[in-house]
Amino acid sequence: MSIKLKAKEQKQYVGKYAGTYRYVMTTELYNKLTERKVLAEAAMRSGISQGTINAAWAAIGEVVKTWATEGHSVAVPGLGTMRFGVRATSVADVADVSSSLITSRRVIFTPSTDIKDELANTSINITCYDRDGNIIKQVASDDDGKVEDPEEPDDNGGSGTGGNPL
C-alpha cells in the first residue's frame, strides 16, 4: 500500500508567490468509504453480525461525544484519542480575556502508536501534473517518515493542542 499524492502546477493568486505558477501537493483520494461499507467490512473480519457491530459503533460514538463535551480526552479503540479544543488569540492583560478571543473550535485527534507507525512505514508516490493536466514526473518517497505530533507547538508559536496560550 502507498499514499498517492498529486502535485499540480497552479497559478497563485495571493501571498508572496502571487502571479506565479507553483506545484501544489494534495492527497489523491479514491473515494469516501461509507459508514455502511466500513461496518460491513468490520462484521466480515470479526465474525460478529453487522447489526451488532452497528449498535456497538453507534454506542461508542455517543460515548465519545458525551465524554468529549465534558472535557475528557476519549480513547477510540485501535485508533487513538480525541478531544475537543479551541484556537484562541492571546492577550497580555487578564482583563481582556473573554470568549471573543476564541477564533475556532476544533476536534483534536491523537493517533495511537500503531497508527503512527503504519503511517511512518507507508510509502508515498507523487504524480506531478503541469498546468494542462499532463503527467510530467513521478516520484517515490525517500523521506524519513516523520509523523506530525499534535502535542508539539505549531509553526506559529502556538500549541498544537488548542491554539495560542492565554
Give the SS3 label for residue 79: coil
Asked if residue 36 has pLDDT above 70, the reply is yes
What pLDDT is stored for residue 148 in this prediction? 84
Asked if residue 66 has pLDDT above 50, the reply is yes
pLDDT level of residue 77 (50, 70, 90 thresholds):
confident
φ, ψ (nearest 5 deg) of residue 90: -90, 155
What pLDDT is stored for residue 4 in this prediction? 92
Task: Using CA atoms of 64, 65, 68, 72 in order, give the dihedral in degrees to the nearest 10.
Answer: -40
Give the SS3 label for residue 112: coil
How open is the CA angle 134-136-140, to the nearest 5 degrees? 125
